[in-house]
Each structure stands twice: as structure tokens, then as C-alpha cells.
Amino acid sequence: MIERDGIFAGECPFALAAEWLSEAEKNEINDPNAAALSTVDAVGMPNVRMVLVKDITKEGFWFYTNYNSVKGREITASGRAAIVMHWKSLRRQLRVRGHVTREDGPEADKYYASRSLQSRLGAWASRQSETLPSRAALMAEVAKITVAKGKNPPRPPFWGGFRIDPVEIEFWADGAFRLHDRFSWTRRDLDSEWTISRLSP
């Protein structure tokens, strides 16, 4: 049995990750739920960009985006992704790797409805990742969508959620003299039990 205590204690990695995020929300000035999302294209070239993790549940880590964006297309093609969340104020880091499930049902509708009207209209107006001639062109499209969709636009069919179902979660905390603490939770597949290992810094 691997000895774990303090900030690493707990029997569920999802609950532990949610606790760390909750602590970060009290300390980080901006976007404590920000995560660097990594995907690969058809030839294996990696891509990384920031997204906002909107929920951590026993199923996984949730974020939302345009399915036609580069990240959306790459996730759909590979079915896999990784994220890292780094909290400088806490001197902690969380890494997640796993399979990705598309969530475009009631949960996506609920989250979309919770966004500001401007953000909902923006989701319709933006052809994410495509070449844009000017900001004026984008704002003109927003104005056009505003007239067409009104004050209660439905969720676009090309916009919704992704959930990373992890096979690996690593918890990292800064240590003196760069002797950091690292604990890795791994499982062979989504139906397997977790194995916990302490990793060298």
C-alpha cells in the first residue's frame, strides 16, 4: 500500500482532483479551471491550447467547444486527449490522459443555457479555427446571428461537450530542492481498478 497523506489523501482520484480545483478557486486570480489540452493531428503532430474544465465528476473531466474546431476534429478522429492543470499559487499540477466521449445531450444543453447571451450568440457566430478576414467581419456575423436567433438561442448542433475518461491521473506538488511529490493513478481500461504509484521527481 502506497503511503499517501495530507493533500494526496483519498480513495477516489476524481474527488481528489475536485478538491484541488476547489482549493485553486480560492487562490488563483484568473481561470483556476484552465487546462492545457493536448491532441494530435492525422500525422501525429501534436497540438496544445488552453480550455476551461467545467466539471470534474466520477466519469471524468468535462469541457466544451466547437466540434468543428481543430481540437474538436482531432479529438473526434483519435478519441484520445490529455490535459494538464497548473496552479502556480498552490505549487501543484494535475495531469490527465485518456479516452474522450462526446457529450452533446442534456448536459451540453444545460451548460450552454448557463452561459451569457453574448457567449451563446458568439458560439453560433464563430467558425472556430477557420481563417477570419477581419474582426469587423466577425462582429457583423454576431449582429446577423443576434437578429436571427433572438434572446434565447438554442445550442448549436456543432457545439457541445467533451469528457476525458482517464486511464491515468497524476498529482504533483512542488517540493524543496526540486524533490517533488508525484502520485500516479493508472488503470488498464475504464472498467479496471486503479493502481497508485509514487513517482520519482
Q: Where in the sequence numbering do the catalytic residues fall? A: 178
Q: At a CB cut-off of 8 Å and minimum separation 6, what does 100 contact?
A: 75, 79, 80, 81, 162, 163, 164, 165
Q: At a CB cut-off of 8 Å and minimum separation 6, what does 81 contact?
A: 37, 38, 39, 75, 97, 98, 100, 162, 164
Return left, alpha or beta for 96; rule: phi > 0 is left, psi -120 to 50 is alpha, else beta: beta
What residues are paired with 99 via a beta bridge? 80, 165
